[in-house]
Structure 1
Amino acid sequence: MSSALSKPVHWVANTEQLTAMIAALSGTTLLALDTEFMRTDTFYAQLALLQLSDGEQIWLLDVPALEQLQPLRELLNQPQVTTLVHACGEDLEVLESALQVVPAALFDTQLAAAYLDRGYSLGYAKLVEQLCGVTLDKQATRSDWLQRPLSAQQRHYAACDVDFLHTMHTALAAELETAGRIEWFQEEMQDLLDSARERNNPADYYLKLTAAWEFSNAQLFALDRLCSWREQLARTLDLPRGRLFKDPQLIEAVRRDASTIEQLRSCADPHPSSLRKYGEQLLAVLQQARLDAQSTATPLMAPPRPLSRAEGALFKQLRAVVQQRAEQFKVAKELLVNKRELEQLVRQHSDGIAAEQLQWPLRLQRGWRRQQLAAPLLEVYTSAQPTPQQ
């Protein structure tokens, strides 16, 4: 079946049209949502189009043209509304940054499919084909969504992205109930919403820079300061972090203890304009960090070190447990425990941490993962031979 739209589509580009849409959606408890945005040379994604549907009608909101967004924020923030999305990660980020909105409740059809072992990271078009028997045209995926007017093809593509969410929600929710996975799925949705509310906090970005795992405490202190300075500057100027200074450039500046522009110039080839405009600021932050590090004895957490070959054996044993449980539960294995979480357990084993003092990864500290995975993982952990780090 082709992707002919099954619902009327309304274009919303002024206050009158927005007011009419808000009135039509009054009392809605299930709202399908998708976003189209551009992010090529900005820190924040530029929300170009917001698609909404109540299952009966579709609205395409020309967000840049709307002068008053508060009624839209109030609609999306209503506590009784469950927001239907597919692959919500970027949508949640854009909603928070552009509209200061985090939905009260969420149903992600991509994750629902994963909890039903239909596939992990299954694309929207593929899931629509599975559940609705419709083949979608995805040619407009990478088009310019900020251009106006949008082409007929772009509008059709955008409308299709919410046209089938209600139908898929009905089917997937029923399957989750039948499979006994609805509580697991709801826990996942709440975790995603909690993460979305905390995403704006840039603290501890330096921990993502694994190349700095061997840094001394003073070096980590300086790297943390540089990352925080760059983060604030990127947000203020609305520029990508890498447009200012890339991660390897900050790492090299700390590693080489740079104190001159010439030394910075040799740190992983920084962009000349960034060096000219912000190089002195970077050096000042680095110099102040050196001074402050001398008066603090607080140890900083280091980025995770790579596993040794010997540690890899324990990692494989733990991963085998995850694979076995995924097959038993009939869910995508990626939902259970990720690589980073397993590595965290392996490193603690190498450090001689006893089972009763084990610091479980956050997702394994509670909920269904704790109930279903902690015991078999702990059995492997306690029975494994000591593993040297190197």
Structure 2
Amino acid sequence: MRTITTTDDLARFCEAAKAQPYVTIDTEFLRERTYYSRLCLIQMALPGKDGEAVLVDPLAGGDLSLEPLYDLFRHEATVKVFHAARQDLEIFFVEGKVFPKPLFDTQVAAMVCGFGEQVGYETLVKKIARENLDKSSRFTDWSRRPLSAAQQTYALADVTHLRVIYEHLAKELKRTGRQIWVEEEIAILLDPETYITRPEEAWMKVRTRTNSGRFMAVVRELARFREDYAQTRDVPRSRVFKDDALLELASTRPATLEELGRSRLLMREGRKADIAEGILAAVKAGMEMKPEDFPKVDGAREQLQVNTALADLLRVLLKAKSEEAGVAPKLIAAASELDALSAGERELPMLHGWRHEVFGSDALRLCRGEIALSAMGGAVRVVVV
């Protein structure tokens, strides 16, 4: 078990990886006390049962730059294999402004190959690699040094078994001709917009019970302040104040420190001087906002008249089509999308790409009355009208 702590050693391993068709990669990180994930460990393995597997330790105190790894990410002759890559990719995008290309995500591939929705790594290890994982080190503190032998063994298992899983899934995708399905999903993972949260847009993620203009104006300013504060100081947004406190403040709209002090839901952290002043300034900005500048809440979907009978038929069709394709229904379309389709909305993910091929095309035909559904025993058939 080799641990890399210097740039030269990392460069040598990455050069060896460039000569291979693929390399498996995983990370360990912490995010409980920061806004951005803190990278604690990188694991990589070369192909083959005896292919070298290493730990890359950015916290060991050595002279380590990750530029050789980023150079490997840019080397398109070697596939970079991850499982559930989103959080890993966010780390590398934030720190190095780079994405691994080409990328293969075994979680995405497994969903396409019929292993269910958001299938876990442990499940794939059992079903494909026929091995068991020791998960006892899963929730340990990866920032503490030295790492225990159990932690190192656990970390390496996340990339050694991944070789078998990747080869199995890649072969299955080639057999079924579904590589394009995975590529469409991975394109989302490789889009920088997936990982960018702009403070001025943070209000859109706050769930509210009312959409009145003035209330939403204060919500937007409070969410903007919180996001900017959290990003600038690299602290979790919940450490600034939580959503329930934000909504309370948007309702009570304190104008002074004394009024702010009456908040029931604002925790001690949110009462510190710089946060308190930011809250009051945000409330003031929301209260002074002109009506024409109020945030525009998209109420179009709420106003849609859902055809419940048609929505129920679409659910039956989705179940039949997902079983036929061997993929989880939620991977194709969410229940809310089916309601929207029944109400006449047409700008939906299910109507594009592979989803349109598998389900969307027939869903539209059902909406237009061009097909009907027939049940025979436990099977549902599409009948042309």
- TM-score, normalised relative to structure 2: 0.84
Q: 1:306 to 1:101 in 2, by over 3 A?
A: farther
**Out of 107, 126, 131, which is 1:129 matched to?**
126
Letter of the 2:317 partner, please give it: V
Other-structure match for 2:254 = 258
Contact residue 218 and residue 293 of structure 1 kept, 8 A: no
Contact residue 208 and residue 303 of structure 1 kept, 8 A: no
Matches within 5 A, 1:76-91: 76-91=73-88
Query: How far has the Cα of 1:18 moved from its partner?
Result: 2.0
1:282-327 CA distance string (max 9 Å, x none): 111221232233453773435975999x876654443332222101
Q: How many positions carry a matched residue from both structures?
A: 362
Other-structure match for 1:10 = 2
CA separation in 2, counterparts of 1:274 and 1:20?
Answer: 48
1:252-304 CA distance string (max 9 Å, x none): 22233332334444545111232233112111122123223345377343597
CA separation in 2, counterparts of 1:90 and 1:112?
Answer: 17
Other-structure match for 1:235 = 231
CA separation in 1, counterparts of 2:145 and 2:329?
Answer: 43
Farther off after superposition, 222-231 or 337-346: 337-346
Tell me the SS of whatever aligns to 1:84: strand
Query: How far has the Cα of 1:22 moved from its partner?
Result: 2.9
Other-structure match for 2:334 = 338
Unaligned ranges ≥5, structure 1: 1-8, 350-354, 384-390
CA separation in 1, counterparts of 2:212 and 2:329?
Answer: 36
Other-structure match for 1:245 = 241
Other-structure match for 2:172 = 175
1:194-234 CA distance string (max 9 Å, x none): 2x55412325332222324x222333233222212211110
Farther off after superposition, 69-78 or 146-155: 69-78
Letter of the 1:247 partner, please give it: D
CA separation in 1, counterparts of 2:295 and 2:237?
Answer: 27
Tell me the SS of whatever aligns to 2:114: coil
Unaligned ranges ≥5, structure 2: 370-385
Letter of the 1:276 partner, please give it: K
Other-structure match for 1:269 = 265
Letter of the 1:116 partner, please give it: C
Other-structure match for 1:386 = none
**Out of 32, 37, 53, which is 1:45 matched to?**
37
Tell me the SS of whatever aligns to 1:226: helix
Other-structure match for 2:146 = 149
Aligned-residue CA RMSD (Å): 2.7
CA separation in 2, counterparts of 1:95 and 1:256?
Answer: 41
Matches within 5 A, 1:315-326: 315-326=311-322
**Out of 348, 370, 376, which is 2:362 matched to?**
376
Contact residue 244 and residue 274 of structure 1 kept, 8 A: yes
Letter of the 1:378 partner, please give it: L
CA separation in 2, counterparts of 1:131 and 1:372?
Answer: 26
Farther off after superposition, 261-270 or 104-113: 261-270
Contact residue 234 and residue 244 of structure 1 kept, 8 A: yes
- TM-score, normalised relative to structure 1: 0.83
**Out of 165, 185, 188, which is 2:182 matched to?**
185
Letter of the 1:33 partner, please give it: I
Q: 1:316 to 1:99 in 2, by over 3 A?
A: farther
1:62-108 CA distance string (max 9 Å, x none): 01235423232222233333211112222222222344332222211
Query: How far has the Cα of 1:330 moved from its partner?
Result: 1.2
Contact residue 210 and residue 304 of structure 1 kept, 8 A: no
Q: 1:242 to 1:315 in 2, by over 3 A?
A: farther
Q: 1:340 to 1:227 in 2, by over 3 A?
A: farther
Contact residue 53 and residue 163 of structure 1 kept, 8 A: yes
CA separation in 1, counterparts of 2:300 and 2:53?
Answer: 46
1:293 aligns with 2:290: yes
Tell me the SS of whatever aligns to 2:142: coil
Q: 1:151 to 1:223 in 2, by over 3 A?
A: same
Q: 1:298 to 1:52 in 2, by over 3 A?
A: closer
Task: Report sequence identity in percent.
Answer: 29
Q: 1:269 to 1:307 in 2, by over 3 A?
A: farther
CA separation in 1, counterparts of 2:193 and 2:56?
Answer: 24
1:133-169 CA distance string (max 9 Å, x none): 2222121111111111101111111111100222221
CA separation in 2, counterparts of 1:259 and 1:307?
Answer: 38
CA separation in 2, counterparts of 1:141 and 1:298?
Answer: 42
Other-structure match for 2:347 = 360
CA separation in 2, counterparts of 1:108 and 1:23?
Answer: 22
1:73 aligns with 2:70: yes
Query: How far has the Cα of 1:21 moved from its partner?
Result: 1.9
Query: How far has the Cα of 1:12 moved from its partner?
Result: 0.6
Q: 1:344 to 1:279 in 2, by over 3 A?
A: farther
